[in-house]
Amino acid sequence: MLKRHARAACTALAAAGLLLAGTGGAVADPAPVVPSAATSLRTSDASPELLAAMQRDLGLTPTQAKARLAHEAEAGATAARLRDRLGAAFAGAWVDGADAAVLTVATTRAADTAAIRATGARAKLVTRTLADLDGAKAALDRAAGPATPVRYVDPRSNTLVVEETEAGAAARLLSATGTDAALVTVVRTAEAPRPLYDLRGGDAYYMNGSGRCSVGFPVTKGTVNGFATAGHCGRAGTTTTGFNQVAQGSFQASVFPGNDMAWVAANSSWTSTPYVKGSGGANVQVAGSVLQPVGASVCRSGSTTGWHCGTIQQHNTSVTYPEGTISGVTRTTVCAEPGDSGGSYISGSQAQGVTSGGSGNCSRGGTTFFQPLNPILSAYGLTLKVTGSDPGPGPGEPEPGGTWKAGAVYAAGATVTYGGSTYRCIQGHQAQTGWEPPNVPALWQRV
């Protein structure tokens, strides 16, 4: 309806322009309004419960919490555009400050610094590209064992970090893989991560009538309702009951180790909703699945410890549990405990992933890891349940042609056509009606 009204208004303006032109006047078409990343990602729709948890766990004022979500959305879009522009020289990006107002982008090419600063970001010249460090990490991942349980690239220090639980374990790993020690920072840790087994997003569910985990994000597959969760919670065929112990469904697919992803198809008694369980049981709306940058705030919902917030530390982290190694998870400062496994991570209104494992607890703090959601949606052909989707064209208004498709999961770098133009994805997400490429420059760049 809004589209039709807008179209009618434009027609009236065009007619007025023709009349003026006929009398010697001219009216220029108004410049199109380009929505900001914060507008596209609906940061202003953040629930009071999410804002309150951010204030509690991140020490923010109400104003800082709201500003932080907006700044993080803009920083993610700016960093994505710069990553696309810098190409192989890109060395990572992160946000700093209580309200995440400072974006830093690293590059190995001095000539890039002016372009970075022109966007309002800080530029940092470093010696190693993100691709170089990711390649070194991949070699370590293949040889790592329980004594070196966590490996990740830290863009702030431009190094590869290896955590060891016993003295000398990291040095032995570097020697076995021929990795240059100059690339690596070794961190001694007293605790190794473990899957959080005993364990609306965040609600409890039970596997085969015994163990407990947490719902990640409600999804659909065709006409089937269900939810995404952690792979270590169950295998294909494992039956589930809901938080109320009523028969719920069964695991349709599961991967663990390697990744930590699964999805459960629910029976007809259960309906997917676009919500995560927030503080006090209030519903927190889910509007999309755009992964946020390092340094961004993130909150988690789980059936053991409820609602807690922290920040994203690193993406593409590898963790070796006693059961094996998983790769591609995100490291956070959010606490969690057994039973929270599978539960929801959300940044503002954007779904981030499902709880995998971690160390520490919610009494003294800890580190947890989440399996990003978009790979789960893509692997199993699932559609995230979201709120507030644009209704699309009105009756008689055809869709522009092209390869872009609502429901598809697009990774950064993917290209599509839409309305006769080609666009490149700059932030991974699941497409939805209203997020067509020309409407969301925070997610797509015309090429």
Alpha-carbon gap, residue 395 to 377, rounded angstroms = 30
Contact 92, 153 (CB under 8 A): yes
Active site residue 232: yes
Tell me the two tokens of residue 233.
């919670």
User: Bridge-partner residues for 345, per DSSP?
Assistant: 300, 353
DSSP per-residue letters across 197-224 = -----S-EEEETTTEEEE--EEEEETTE
Which burial class, exposed, middle or buried, applies to 180 when counting CB atoms under 10 A from its CB (0-12, 13-18, 19+)? exposed
- Three-state DSSP class for 312? strand
Active site residue 341: yes
Residue type for position 380 = Y
* Residue carrying the six token digits 């804002």: 51
How many CB atoms are closer than 10 A to CB 343?
35
* Identified catalytic residue from 71, 232, 308, 429: 232
* Identified catalytic residue from 341, 347, 349, 356: 341
- Helix intervals (H) in 23-147: 37-40, 48-58, 62-86, 113-118, 130-143
Just list the catalytic residues.
Answer: 232, 260, 341
